[in-house]
Amino acid sequence: MSEKHRFMTLGRHIDEGEREHPEATGDFSGLLSDLAIAVKMIWREVSKAGLIEILGATDRQNDCGDEVKKLDEFANETIYRAMDHGGHLCVMASEESHGLISIPDKYPKGKYVLVYDPIDGSSNIDANVSIGSIFGIYRRITESGPGTEADCLQPGYKLAASAYVIYGSSTIFVYCTGDGVHGFTLDPSVGEFLLSHENMRIPDRGKTYSVNEGNYGKWADGMRSYVNYLKGTDGSGRRPYSSRYIGSLVADFHRNLLHGGIFMYPGDSTNPDGKLRLVYECAPLAHIVEHAGGKASDGIRRILDIVPKAVHQRTPFFIGSGEDVSEAEEFIQGRRNH
Ligand code: AHG
Ligand code: MN
Ligand code: MN
């Protein structure tokens, strides 16, 4: 860590980033600072989830058919209430909300759009396994007034910023505004996120792969061949990769960002588009991984080039070290079988 970056708080880092853009109005800094407050409030509940009535499930399902956990609901509500009145946003979209989330009439409309997965890895909450939150921020494309679906359905290459939080043994906020990927670790004793991972870069190739092999029987041949190749069961004699799968996308992604490797959630015979959602899971993480030197695709197309047709649209997802993702694409596209 460079000297000048000791005790660098997230807020100061955001402000310094803003100062490098003379045309900036401070609006963006305000948005990210409001988001950091929401994340700290979620951390506070996550860190004591076992002690208060916030574990377990509600009796609801969300639009994606997932069982909604109480923490999903709490986090969704917390982000909405932290972000709806600052005047930075014109509309929001969340995994846990059916349609678009409007900014109440009584509050000013801003020039940004927030899409988010309030809690990622919900099925792990009760088991005390790391979970996360994922955020994407776009500039609005409509002129004024309440934001629209068109504002939320922009391709990922138009992201102004992306961020994720991992609530684990420590809580880390990782964000990218187009000028590198930077991670901040929460110091609970002062309630500040302090710069801990400056200019994160993912290794060109890793030694681990992350996928739910329980779906092996439903995969297409190319996917099976690729995983057999990674495991060395294709007779190639190459050193096999290790399997690492937490079942929380953010946790699997964060490990691969630090150490290299590939995370996969392919389509299969029952879910041709896989399980993960393009707008508020895959595109923000693809934005981060590309700015860290990695790659993200649906097996054929670059994730950031896909124009969403619906907020809860799913996509097959391959993300991580560039050489690993390119190799996976060769197998998925049938250009290679060992
Ligand atoms: P969410 O909790 O936001 O619905 O996301 C869960 C996702 C993702 O975090 C993880 O990689 C994947 O579900 C795990 O799915 P499987 O249990 O099917 O492997
Ligand atoms: Mn998720
Ligand atoms: Mn979720």
Burial status of residue 48 (CB atoms within 10 A of its CB: 0-12, 13-18, 19 or more): exposed
**CB within 5 A of ion ligand 2: which residues?**
117, 120, 281
Q: Give the number of other Cβ atoms within 10 Å of residue 169's Cβ.
A: 7
Q: From first to last of the 338 residues of the chain, give the pLDDT tens digit.
A: 566 667 899 999 988 888 777 666 678 889 999 999 999 999 998 887 666 655 666 677 777 777 666 888 899 999 999 999 999 999 999 999 989 999 999 999 999 999 999 999 988 888 889 999 999 999 999 999 999 999 999 999 999 999 999 999 999 999 999 999 999 999 999 999 999 999 999 999 999 999 999 999 999 999 999 999 999 987 777 789 999 999 999 999 999 999 999 999 999 999 999 999 999 999 999 999 999 999 999 999 999 999 999 999 999 999 999 999 999 999 999 999 88
Pocket of ligand 1 (CB under 6 A): 66, 95, 117, 120-122, 212, 247-249, 275
What is 208-332's CATH topology? D-Maltodextrin-Binding Protein; domain 2 (3.40.190)
**Residue 93 forms beta bridges with which residues?**
115
- Site of tokens 């649906």: 298
What is 3-197's CATH topology? Fructose-1,6-Bisphosphatase; Chain A, domain 1 (3.30.540)
Q: How far is the CA of 15 from the centre of ligand 1 (A)?
A: 34
Q: How far is CA 328 from CA 90, 148, 216, 262, in A?
A: 38, 36, 15, 9
- Where exactly are the structural domains of the chain? 3-197, 208-332
- The ligand with the least distance to the CA atom of 247 is 1
Tokens describing residue 79: 């982000």
Q: How far is the CA of 119 from the centre of ligand 3 (A)?
A: 4
**Using CA positions, which residue lies closest to atom 15 of ligand 1?**
247
Cα-Cα-Cα-Cα torsion 109, 112, 113, 118, nearest 10 degrees, comes to -100
Integer Cα distance of 270 and 281 in angstroms: 21
